[in-house]
Structures are given as structure tokens and as C-alpha cells.
Homo-oligomer: A and B are copies of this chain.
């Protein structure tokens, strides 16, 4: 007990989470077995139960920490005096975070239906908190007259879907750098709310 306390155990737990995340993202939660996860970690299936009481708890833990990290990172970023700046910052943050953590994003989005009712409700609350953040920006911009928006709730979901979709096609080492993609998406988002993006980031035209 004294020999291993706080050393090997914590490392193994992290490793399990890391390997489970990759496996879930690639094959889906339901298609991945505890034996597979253990295999990737170099241990036997039974040892997993020292850290997680059920397979479900691994999924829940992954999704919860992903959403919490996302919200924490978002909070740190945000302090802007006008809606346009706030929207630009949000869009850039979203794209960067999603390109940076594609596996976490994928699992948090695709595996909702595999959560039991209670964990499901908890994760949905965190998702809604994130959505509310963008909705507030859009409402403020609509109220101030900066944005032209037909319907704020629909536009909120449309923008999030548009940006999250970056993970369906982006692969490292492609035609465009992360910075270029960020700029393109920020411009797309600004267009959606009726702004003229080229006036705000004139350098983009030269890049593409």
C-alpha cells in the first residue's frame, strides 16, 4: 500500500481514460469492450474495476470532464465590450478548442444516447450552459443593432453546428493551417449575423 500509494495507481487511471477516449471516439462506446480498453493500457480487464465501477462510469467521466474543461476555458477567455468582439472571440475559441481536442468533442457529441438518464441530464445541462453563452452574445448584438438575426435560438444552434462540423473534415497536415481555418470560420460566423467580415480581417484575402 505504502509502495504504490499515489504513484502507479494515478498513472494507470489517467492511461485508462486516455485509451478509452481514443477507442470510444474511433469505434463508439457500445462497440468497445472493457477487454479492449485494458489491452491498450497493458493490463487485464479485471484491473479496470479498481478505478471505475462500471464501463458507463468511464464514459460519464470522460464526457463530464470534457464539458467542464470546455466551459472553464471559455470563461477564462471572455471579457469583451461589444457583441462583435465577443462573437469573434467565441468563434475563434470554439474552432481552436474543437481542432485541439477532436476526440473529446466527438465522444461528448456522439455518445449522449449511451448515457443513462441521470448522467445524461447532467451532461445536457453543461451543453446548454455552453449554448446559452452564444445565445446571449447573439441577443445582445441583436438588441444593440450590431447583428441582423431572424431568430436567435435557431441561429445559435446553426452557428454551433457549423463550427463543430470542422471535426468531420479537418485533418492535421492538410491544405490549410489551423490559423487559416480559424479565420475562415470566424468570417463565416460574422457573415451569418450580417456583418461584412473582410473589413474586420483584411489579411485573409491574401492568405487564401
A residues engaging B (CB < 8 A)?
Answer: 26-28, 30-31, 110, 113-114, 148, 150-151, 153-155, 157-166, 168-169, 175-176, 181, 183-185, 187-188, 191-194, 197-198, 204-205, 208
Contacts and interface: CB of A to CB of B under 8 A. Distances in A.
B113 A27 contact: yes
A162 B26 CA distance: 23
Contacts of A30: 27-28, 30-31
A181 B151 CA distance: 9
Contacts of A151: 176, 184, 208
Chief secondary structure at chain A's binding surface: helix
A107 to B, nearest CB: 12
A169 B31 CA distance: 26
Which 3 interchain pairs have the tightest Cβ spacing?
A161-B165, A30-B30, A162-B162
Contacts of A181: 154
Given A31-B114, A157-B165, 6 more contacts: A28-B28, A28-B114, A30-B30, A154-B181, A159-B162, A161-B161
